[in-house]
Amino acid sequence: MTVIHAQGLRRTFGDCVAVDGFDLEVAQGEIFGLVGPDGAGKSTTMRLLTGILRPSSGSATVADCDVVRDAERLKNHIGYMSQRFGLYPDLSVAENIAFYADIYGVPRRGRAERVERLLAFSNLAPFRTRLAGNLSGGMKQKLGLACALIHTPRVLFLDEPTNGVDPVSRRDFWRILYQLVREGVTLFVSTAYLDEAERCNRLALLHQGRILGLGTPAEVKALMPGSLLEIRTSSPRRSAALLREHLAGSTVSLFGDRIHISTQAPDEVARQAAGLLAAAGFEQIASGPIEPSLEDVFVAVLAHKQEAPHAQ
């Protein structure tokens, strides 16, 4: 069953095109990831699908509600946690949840049991009386999630929910999200962390408001043009700059102390790279083909898209 359907969704701000011809379907109970760098259009897409912004053109339905005609009714069926979720720092954890329960019109009967369940679910029960302003970053995100869930939404929109959160809190947060999916909630998650995208059932790579790739993580990785080489050298940054200058037709990226080269001719490029590095006096520590990560795919697909117009 499809719970999110978008067709030709487009949003402009003056001459700026934030979302450009967005087509998408998301099934019930799916974790769908919207992946891209800052400025890709992720937050604007979220606001369009939650009825906060009106599209310039195109259409979308979420939970059987048209995002324009049924925007008010839509609020009863979705939860939305923005990048800066509106917690009240001078209210306690329990008071914040109660406030959002009032906003969503959650009936008084059964509310206490629902709040207790959310506190236990998010591991916030021991901190129910603590002011939200005194919580850690990870705990604030969990509280924001609890507030977004107080009315039991069918679809939950999370806009970069773990941005700036430590690795342990990110892991705990995703554990909670998996539990939600087991209970039938559909998750639409935006993230700039490509390792998090691996956790999604399906994902879309977004750049300048356009989808560059769509499918399961494995299907998106299959979009990788050519093969991927990894090289380690004694001077990775200078080596990467050298290889970018001389390896025409290949995409050279630096990942920490490792250089990744996307190429259609891996054997020939490996030989060329070894010669260039040796001539420059850089020691090559290791070299060989590797399986691409989603970050590799995104960089390579983006470079391929940018080169395509010049090839015509």
> Which amino acid, 46?
M
Distance separating alpha carbons of residues 203 and 31, to the nearest angstrom: 8
Distance separating alpha carbons of residues 187 and 202, to the nearest angstrom: 11
Q: Who contacts 276 (Cβ-Cβ below 8 Å, separation ≥6)?
A: 242, 243, 246, 247
Where do the domains of the chain lie, and which CATH numbers do they carry?
Answer: 2-221 (3.40.50.300), 227-291 (3.30.70.2470)
How many CA atoms lie within 13 Å of 19's alpha carbon, on the beta-carbon side?
27
Q: Which residue has the tokens 């021991």?
A: 126
SS3 20: strand
Structure-token pair, residue 193? 């962390």
Distance separating alpha carbons of residues 211 and 19, to the nearest angstrom: 9
pLDDT per residue, tens digit, the chain (312 aa), is 899 999 999 999 999 999 998 899 999 999 999 998 888 899 999 999 999 999 999 999 999 999 999 999 999 999 999 887 788 999 999 999 999 999 888 998 888 998 998 898 888 999 999 999 999 888 998 999 999 999 989 999 999 888 877 888 888 888 888 988 998 999 999 988 888 888 999 999 999 999 988 999 999 988 888 899 999 999 999 999 999 999 988 889 998 899 999 998 999 999 999 999 999 999 999 889 998 888 888 887 777 666 654 444
- Answer whether 263's CB lies under 8 Å from 164's CB: no
Q: Which residue has the tokens 């989603």?
A: 294
Give, in order, the Cα–Cα distances in Å from 231 to each of 38, 275, 290.
Answer: 28, 13, 10
Q: How many residues does the chain have?
A: 312
- Answer whether 183's CB lies under 8 Å from 214's CB: no
